[in-house]
Amino acid sequence: MENNSQPRRTFLRYLGGSALGLAGLGLARSLEASGLPGHPARFYKKLSQKRVDCQLCPKRCRVDDTERGFCGTRENHGGEYRSLVYGKACAMNVDPIEKKPLFHFFPGSLTFSIATAGCNMDCKACQNWQISQSRPEQVRAYDLPPNQVVRAAQQVGSKIISYTYTEPVVFLEYVIDTARAAKKQGLRNCMITGGSIEVAPLKEAVQVLDAIKVDLKSFREDTYVRMCKGQLKPVLRTLETVKAMGRWLEIVYLVIPTLNDSEAEIRDMCRWIKRNLGPDVPVHLTRFYPEYQLKHLPPTPYSTLKRSHEIAQAEGLHYAYVGNLPNMGGEDTICPKCKKHVVERRGFGVLRNQLKAGKCPTCHAQIPGVWS
Amino acid sequence: MKHLAGTTEARAALAQWIRPLDTVGLKVNCLAGRQLSSHPELVEELVGLLEKIGLSRQQAIVFDRADNDLHRGGFSIRTAGKDYRCLGNDRAGYDPELTVMQSGASRFSRIATQQASVLINLPILKDHGLAGISGALKNNFGLVHNPNKYHLNGCDPHVAEVNAEPVVQKKQRLIICDALRIQVDGGPAYHPAAAETFGGLIFATDPVALDVIAWELLDKLRKQRKLPTLIADKRHPVHILSAAQKGLGVGERRYIELVSVTVS
């Protein structure tokens, strides 16, 4: 999950200078949010005694009347499940697409990025825990219905909208409606997710998305439980589903010292990716910095990242990158056939893109991705 | 309360736990609306008693998770003035410092961490679909900003972990469980057909012991309605046992003395 350090002010600066202005873009009154009926949620089943079975994610929360599920963004009102975050953006920013990171999807583009409060996991390393681990009424949010998201993206000149920062799965109805509206206007849509979602809602979302980046937190089931209050298997299922549906897919693996950084685990993951998704899915091995519940751990050592990168390459992954460590040189796209550096990057910037219609300029090998 | 404190007067009892310079946080439970919330009349009586031991009404803060919850529970939101303050954590805010526990991390209510010097826990007694029972221990989920993260596995071990935090351990002096009306089944929401007018208050300084008694009482009422016990219904309130194992109170019924007093 990428860092969201300066969302609102930047956004307002963009909008402030535009013809759109701020009419109709009001601060959602967060104190009243819990009292509002919200927006009808989807992906649930009614049970007896006004309970509901949330079928959005593998947690499958059974939610009593007046209560919320694990994500805290959906509330049961007498057997009617309501989303409290639909149209309530708590973070907005214009980011380089490389920040997501998506390296094989319109490199060098800017993407209009939004988030609401909430997450269906609780990762100990979360960079955005102040919004992802809060309930909707605890964060300042803007009323920003789907059509206004699209207009705002157009106003700032972005052709891509990203659903990101927290966990788009918990605001999936908002994602789907916004992405649909964006598509009609010729915009692209990306979802940056932990991938913990049931198949039916995932498939519906993927229909309107163009690219998906999945944070794979670990390749061990017990680590998933311990580190994220999540499960590994459903995330692997998500990866396979997205791939099978033909949407552009990239994977991030945050390498955390002592928790998920063993050579065996990284090798197992790379083998699984190659076997089940193919060697062309980009895998970003990113550096951990102490955050949230893991402030006691050191940043990932350079040597660990280097070794992880070597393992990924040795296992046959064509596009293994090293992230959050700009000077290591692990951010360039290298043609697997002739080894030419076809896209050179530093940090979130593209220094040089030599691809010609998605092909290596030297050997003409096709580099997979969505380039134009 | 007199029996609990071993005194002959209620105010002498209260004076055992509260000092005149204290700011008293009264944590009510109003999530289920007016029919199944800590009664404002009980709070009023308690604040009156605090006055009698030398506190001003402004030294009491009645709070729950959200203004809206309090409003639905029959309380008026007050943030200033000569009467007791009454507000939700959503308005008062949460402590910026993150408290990292074994199985999660939370920000605690600023009322609990920064404003109140002592806490009085005023739960209600209700059946709970996930935890089995919501009583003294579970009510303190309302002190943290993210209780939704703590409902997995029957809320265990999260309830015990929240209650083991110093802010609760050092400040919670008294628990008065409002069992005037008990939700016997279908909780935590109010369902009139499964609610029982019991007309009781349960006083304790030990939240675990109180919950053991509350569990016993709930099961008794469930049996009277031909409902399965919580364990038979596969809703074993293991959080009470975890709290006992953590040393937060007495979990074995045989070591708990229950003194019943009928007030006419």
**Crossing angle, helix B238-245 and helix B207-224, to 10 degrees?**
160
Q: Estimate to the nearest angstrom the gap between the alpha carbon of A154 and the chain centroid.
A: 21
pLDDT at A41 over 50: yes
d(CA B200, CA B212): 16
d(CA A104, CA A198): 26
Q: Across residues A329-335, what is the average pLDDT?
A: 94
pLDDT at A33 over 70: no
pLDDT at residue A28, as a whole number: 43
d(CA A192, CA A167): 7
Q: Across residues B234-246, what is the average pLDDT?
A: 97
CB atoms within 10 A of CB B93: 15
- Choose among A31, A50, A122: nearest Cβ to B91: A31
Contact, A279 vs A316, CB < 8 A? yes
pLDDT at residue A44, as a whole number: 98
Q: Does A66 touch chain B (CB under 8 A)?
A: yes
Is A64 close to B148, i.e. CB distance below 8 A? Answer: no
Is B31 close to A66, i.e. CB distance below 8 A? Answer: yes
d(CA B230, CA B238): 11
d(CA A67, CA A316): 48
Is B151 close to A61, i.e. CB distance below 8 A? Answer: yes
d(CA B36, CA B194): 12
CA distance to partner chain B, nearest, from residue A49 (Å): 6
Burial pattern A275-292, b for ≥16 Cβ within 10 A else e, equals eebebbbbbbbbbbbebb
Can you give the C-alpha Rg of chain A in angstroms? 20
Q: Does B187 touch chain A (CB under 8 A)?
A: yes
Beta bridge partner(s), residue A341:
A334
**Tens digits of per-residue pLDDT, A275-305?**
999 999 999 999 999 999 999 999 999 999 9
Best of B133, B143, B148 to disrupt the A interface by mutation (most A CBs within 10 Å)?
A: B148
Instruction: Name the phi and psi angles at A65, rounded to 5.
Output: -55, 140
Q: Does B87 touch chain A (CB under 8 A)?
A: no
Q: Chain A window 8-47: which residues touch B at a Cβ cutoff of 8 Å?
A: 30-32, 34-35
ipTM rounded to 2 decimals: 0.86
pLDDT at A32 over 60: no
Name which of A11-20, A249-258, B25-34, B112-121 the model is least confident about: A11-20
pLDDT at residue A37, as a whole number: 73
Cα dihedral B6, B7, B10, B15, rounded to 10, equals -90
**Tens digits of per-residue pLDDT, B184-222?**
999 999 999 999 999 999 999 999 999 999 999 999 999
**Tens digits of per-residue pLDDT, A140-174?**
999 999 999 999 999 999 999 999 999 999 999 99
- Choose among B32, B128, B145: nearest Cβ to A138: B145
Q: Across residues B136-154, what is the average pLDDT?
A: 95
CA distance to partner chain B, nearest, from residue A223 (Å): 13
Q: Is B169 exposed, middle or buried (0-12, 13-18, 19+ CB in 10 A)?
A: exposed
pLDDT at residue A36, as a whole number: 45
- In whole angstroms, how far apart are CA B199 and each of A92, A119, B39, B187, B190? 52, 41, 12, 18, 17
- In whole angstroms, how far apart are CA B6 and each of A36, A164, B231, B260? 47, 59, 35, 14
- B186: which residues sit within 8 A by CB, 6+ positions away? A49, A65, B127, B129, B194
Q: Name the helix (H) or strand (E) containing A132.
A: helix A129-132
pLDDT at residue A31, as a whole number: 34
Is B104 close to A61, i.e. CB distance below 8 A? Answer: no
Instruction: Name the phi and psi angles at B119, rounded to 5.
Output: -125, 140
What tokens were used for A354? 């030599």
d(CA B215, CA A22): 54
* Helix, strand or coil, per DSSP, at residue B86: strand
- A134: which residues sit within 8 A by CB, 6+ positions away? A72, A117, A118, B145, B146
Cis-peptide into A101, omega within 30 deg: yes
- Choose among B104, B129, B146: nearest Cβ to A64: B129
Q: Is A267 exposed, middle or buried (0-12, 13-18, 19+ CB in 10 A)?
A: middle
d(CA B26, CA B60): 7
What tokens were used for B88? 């939700």
Which residue type occupies A317?
L
* Helix, strand or coil, per DSSP, at residue B217: helix
| Three-class DSSP labels, A235-271 | HHHHHHHHHHCCCEEEEEEEECCCCCCCHHHHHHHHH
Q: Does B158 touch chain A (CB under 8 A)?
A: no
Q: Does A69 touch chain B (CB under 8 A)?
A: yes
Q: Estimate to the nearest angstrom the gap between the alpha carbon of B3 and the chain centroid.
A: 20
Q: Estimate to the nearest angstrom the gap between the alpha carbon of A151 and the chain centroid.
A: 22
d(CA A156, CA A110): 9
Is A62 close to B129, i.e. CB distance below 8 A? Answer: yes
Can you give the C-alpha Rg of chain B in angstroms? 17
- Choose among B90, B98, B149: nearest Cβ to A138: B90
Among candidate residues B131, B10, B111, the one with its CA nearest the CA of residue B63:
B111
- B15: which residues sit within 8 A by CB, 6+ positions away? B53
pLDDT at A14 over 90: no
- Where does the pLDDT of residue A372 fall: very low under 50, low under 70, confident under 90, or very high at 90 and above? confident
Higher pLDDT, A30 or A363: A363
pLDDT at residue A329, as a whole number: 83
**Tens digits of per-residue pLDDT, B56-91?**
999 999 999 999 999 999 999 999 999 999 999 999
Residues of chain A found within 8 Å of residue B188, distances taken between Cβ atoms: 64-67
pLDDT at A13 over 60: no
Name the H helices within chain B: 2-5, 10-17, 40-52, 67-72, 89-92, 110, 136-139, 158-164, 166-171, 207-224, 238-245
Record the pTM: 0.89
Q: Does B115 touch chain A (CB under 8 A)?
A: no
Best of B31, B90, B102 to disrupt the A interface by mutation (most A CBs within 10 Å)?
A: B90
Q: Does A132 touch chain B (CB under 8 A)?
A: no
- Where does the pLDDT of residue B3 fall: very low under 50, low under 70, confident under 90, or very high at 90 and above? confident
pLDDT at A7 over 80: no
Q: Residue B45 half-sphere exposure, CB side, CA atoms within 13 Å?
A: 11
Q: Does A49 touch chain B (CB under 8 A)?
A: yes
d(CA A20, CA A11): 12
